[in-house]
Structure 1
Amino acid sequence: MLQHALRTLDEISSLGAPRTALSFNGLLSALNHSLLPFSPRRVPELFSDLSRRLSIVPDKVSYGILVKSHRLAGNARKALGVLKEMEERKIEITTVIYTTLVDSFYKEGRPEEAERLWKEMEKKGCKPDLPAYNVRIMHRALKGEPQDVLDSIREIEAAGLKPDTITYNYLISCYRSHGRFQEAKKVYKELEEKGGVPNAATFRNLLASLCKNEDFDGALEVFTDSVKQSKVPDLGSVKLLFEGLMKNSKVRAAKMVISGLKKKFPEDLSGDWKKLEKVVGVNVDGEGPEQIVAAWIQK
């Protein structure tokens, strides 16, 4: 409903409220968050047009939204021009803006440019915060070795910051991608001791990896933890666990997976989730575990 939003912005003054950068930022930020694919591409055009036509003076938040729109559109180069404009207008370039740009260049496969900006950020007195370090760790987890991620965690701690769940998720992910599942499970088990709390991504990614590695006992433990914390992984991950347990004749454990879900989330088990419940329910006619496994494998 962009046209309605634009009309409201135009009418704010007549409604008895001042038209400020706050309203301007709200409109542009909504475009960045829109599910419509081309919405972020409208931000630069509206930024220029509205600020001029409505005499709105953009602030550092406005420019942060503009930089993010370029990132979402995959135009990190254009975002560099925004930094230059901010410097000319003597508007503070925040750590958030630098982090957005660093993230952009990493995702565009240009780590050298990302590192150059990181050094520029530090040189200009913008102290990297934990989200900034996590962006860096994300790249190292995807492209590097577990030791690279561990070195980054030490950098975080040396900066007086505390790694969080996102940080350790990247370490777990890096261990998994290198086939080092025991180390991944160790980080997971020690997460709460380190001050983190497993989130949905922790459970989903580790569960899927352990199942693909045919460590169904480890996967079942992760799944049980997720249910206890009301953060059940996605259907695909649970289905991998269920199929693995069934094919390895661990029918009772497979049934416990579905019954546990049904007990914990009775209102949410619908659609494809119901199909899994139906499979474990075929025992009503007295069929034994072998028949249940055979029926599942044939599906």
Structure 2
Amino acid sequence: MYQPLGVHRLIYRTRIASYVKAGLIDYAVKVFEEMTLSECRVFGIDYNRFIGVLIRHSRLDLAHHYYSKMAPLGFSLSSFTYSRFISGLCQTKEFMFIEKLLNDMDRLHCVPDIWAFNIYLNLLFRENREESALEVFGRMVERGREPDVVTFTIIIDGLCKMKKFDAAVQFWRNMLDKGIRPDNKACGALAVGLCDGGQVDLAYELVIGVISGGLSEVSTLVYNALISGFCRAGGIDKALAIVSFMSRTGCKPDLVTYNVLLNYCCNEFMFEEAVKLLKKMECSATEPDVYSYNQLLKAFCKANHPDKAYQFMVTKMVPKGFCDVVSYNTIIKAFLQY
């Protein structure tokens, strides 16, 4: 009895789908190969679907194999499948093949979806391929792929890690000029990057500017980066002003905030202020931890007050169970040197 080829194609597709659903990818490959060699006509959509399956199951070599068969047949991947392919190749860092896919997309006048674009940019910066990353960024923008806040965050973070602070700030300003609101991660990338590079005043100007202007709401991570930066630079007054500002915005100081301030006070032998901070922490919802107490313990020892350090440890730390090996080593070393 005569059966149309369309029926055969439907049977092949059903068998492939059932094997994929069961996780039997090797069997699905055999059926797909059988389908391509049969009299049944295979369409571009079949290659798109199957290559998508192979990518999802990390069978990238097979995906490459079947992709190479598409062009001679006059088929091409959809933008989504290209994007999925690029993101999959990012996991194995196959830069040459990614570039081939991007060039093939250029010829088809399509660009990767924004999520694949961002994954590739992030990989390039992680691998210290800054020039390639910025070149890809330029090419994608020229072809109509508008960057989003994630794109700018990746670039700002990458440039800051490479100490390219002027370029990072330029991208920050470009993002604002495009009307893109920086989110917590974008603010964090700039604040942490600039503060680590000693550009604390600039970080404060740019980040607090967008917060004050109502363009962004940030977490304690961003505020703590600025507070830590000013403490390292000796700007305790500015650090305390940020603590006051963050409280007014509804963002409460956390354990990291207090420990940063406590570390500064202890390093500067500001014992009264350090003790006040500890008491403030004890009276608030933010309980001190072992690090908090060890900071003050070390400060007493550095100031040649081992007796005060010992008394502090016995009366404050031991009852709370906050003595660790660092505490005992600090006290022993202080008495040996006294």
Tell me the TM-score range normalised by the shorter chain: 0.5 to 0.7
Residue aligning to 1:201: 221
**How many Å separate the matches in 2 of 1:257 and 1:46?**
59
Q: C-alpha displacement at 1:173, in angstroms?
A: 3.3
Mapped partners of 1:202, 1:71: distance in 2:
29
Whichever of the two has the greater Rg, that structure is 2
Q: Is the 8 A contact 1:165 1:198 kept in 2?
A: yes
Shift of 1:81: 3.3
One-letter amino acid of the counterpart of residue 196, structure 1: S
Quick one: which of 148, 163, 168 aligns to 1:129? Answer: 148
CA contact (8 A) 1:165 1:191 kept: no
- Could you say if the C-alpha distance between residues 157 and 202 of structure 1 is closer, same or farther in structure 2, counting changes exceeding 3 Å? closer
Q: Which amino acid aligns with 2:60?
A: P
Q: 1:208 to 1:277 in 2, by over 3 A?
A: closer
1:185 aligns with 204
Report how many aligned residue pairs link the two structures.
255
Q: Is the 8 A contact 2:183 2:216 kept in 1?
A: yes
**TM-score normalized by the length of structure 2:** 0.55
Cα deviation code 1:34-88 (max 9, x no counterpart): xxxxxxxx4525756999xxxxx97544443432343344443342233346567
Query: Is the contact made by 1:258 and 1:277 (CA closer than 8 Å) also made in structure 2?
Result: no
The match for 1:105 is: 124
Q: What does the per-residue CA deviation read over 1:189-233, in whole Å, with 9 as the maximum and x for residues that have no partner?
A: 334223111224313433433343344554455567379536846
Structure 2, unaligned stretches of length 5 or more?
1-19, 26-47, 68-75, 298-306, 314-326, 332-338
Q: Give, in angstroms, the shift of residue 187 of structure 1.
A: 3.6
Which residue type is aligned with residue 308 of structure 2?
A: Q
Which amino acid counterpart does residue 184 of structure 1 have in structure 2?
Answer: A
Kept in 2, the 8 Å contact 1:141–1:149? The answer is: yes
Matched, 1:248 2:270: yes
1:114 offset after TM fit, Å? 1.9
TM-score, normalising length from structure 1? 0.61
**Which stretch shows the higher mean deviation, 250-259 or 212-221?**
212-221
SS class of match (1:192): helix
Q: Paired residue for 1:140?
A: 159
Q: Residues 181 and 216 of structure 2 are in contact (CA less than 8 Å); yes or no, is this contact kept in structure 1?
A: no
Distance 2:99 2:279 in 1: 55
Local SS of the residue matching 2:284:
helix
Note closer, same or farther for the CA distance 1:258–1:276 as it changes in structure 2 (3 Å cut).
farther
Residue 256 of structure 1 deviates from its aligned partner by 1.5
Residues in 2 aligned to 1:130 and 1:83: alpha-carbon distance in whole angstroms: 22
Please give the alpha-carbon distance, in whole angstroms, between the structure 1 residues aligned to 2:203 and 2:112: 37
Aligned to 1:275: 290
Calculate the aligned-residue CA RMSD, in Å. Answer: 4.7
Q: What CA deviation, in whole Å up to 9, does each residue of 1:139-176 have, x standing for no partner?
A: 33333554433322332234343344433334333432
Matches of 1:206 and 1:219, distance apart in 2:
7
Q: Which of 284, 287, 293 is equivalent to 1:260?
A: 284
Q: Does 1:212 align with 2:232?
A: yes
1:229 aligned partner, one-letter code: C
Task: Supply the AA of the counterpart residue of 2:280.
Answer: M
Rounded to whole Å, the distance in 1 between the matches of 2:120 and 2:98 is: 7
- The residue type equivalent to 2:160 in the other structure is A
Hey, what does 1:64 align to over in structure 2?
Answer: 83
- The answer as to whether partners of 2:227 and 2:242 remain within 8 angstroms in 1 is yes
Corresponding residue for residue 320 of structure 2: none
Conserved in 2, the CA contact under 8 Å of 1:242 and 1:257?
Answer: no
Q: Does 1:118 align with 2:145?
A: no
Distance 1:203 1:72, change over 3 A: farther
Structure 1 position 291 matched with structure 2 position 302 = no
Work out which of the residue numbers 42, 56, 60 in structure 2 matches 1:44: 60
CA–CA separation in structure 2 for the residues paired with 1:201 and 1:25 = 38
Distance 2:157 2:65 in 1: 36
Question: Contact 1:43–1:66 (CA<8 Å) still a contact in 2?
Answer: no
Identity %: 12
Q: Distance in 2 between matches of 1:154 and 1:277?
A: 38
**Structure 2 contact 194–202 (Cα < 8 Å) conserved:** yes
CA distance in 2, matches of 1:257, 1:228: 18
SS in 2 for 1:179: coil
